[in-house]
Amino acid sequence: MFDNISFKSAVSNSRGSLSSSPVLITHNKGANKEEQTYKISREAMDKCSFEFKDKVDIQFSPDFKVCRIIKSVTGLTLSRQTTTNPRSSAVTRMQYKEHIHPDLLKMAFSENNVETNKAMFENGEIEYKEGVLTFEIKLA
């Protein structure tokens, strides 16, 4: 009866249909703060030898189309997304700073012409190296 319908997922958060993406970036703009959350799958962590509690630096190409997450001595801490899951993804958050971080909300607006307070991006092309994860940013 319903075999001829093309269904789309209604789940729009990182625990749903996009959770299979090796990297997911969410940009949230709230009343009091604006932040970006970076989620790295366990598989991507393994390929780059990232561990929970590692410090990382997040870098961008000049046009903000490519992102690099690299192990560093100082920086943001990779935290376990789910404490009870040994295969949990890692997450790290940073407060958005204009002209330093890409304005993902503007990027999302320019792609779909819809103004929003939340935008999700995932990886396009991706490269794994020891201590380095580099990927193209694309709207999820």
pLDDT in tens, 65-99: 899 999 999 999 999 998 888 889 999 999 998 88
User: Above 90 in pLDDT, residue 9?
Assistant: no
pLDDT of residue 63: 86
Residues 70-88: b if buried by 16+ CB within 10 A, e if exposed: bbeeebbebeebeeeeeeb
Q: Output the pTM of the full model.
A: 0.81
Tokens of 41: 């799958």
Q: Indicate whether 3 belongs to any domain.
A: no
User: Above 60 in pLDDT, residue 54?
Assistant: yes
CA separation, residue 89 to residues 33, 34, 43, 53 (Å): 24, 22, 8, 12
User: Above 90 in pLDDT, residue 49?
Assistant: yes
Q: Are 26 and 137 in contact (CB under 8 A)?
A: no
Q: Indicate whether 72 belongs to any domain.
A: yes
Q: Indicate whether 7 belongs to any domain.
A: no
The number of domains in the chain is: 1
Q: Which structural domain range is residue 98 located in?
A: 21-139
Q: Indicate whether 36 belongs to any domain.
A: yes
Counting Cα atoms < 13 Å in the Cβ hemisphere of 93 gives: 9
Determine which of 13-22, 45-54, 64-73, 98-107 has the lowest per-residue pLDDT on average: 13-22
Kindly report the number of other CB atoms within 10 A of residue 52's CB atom. 14
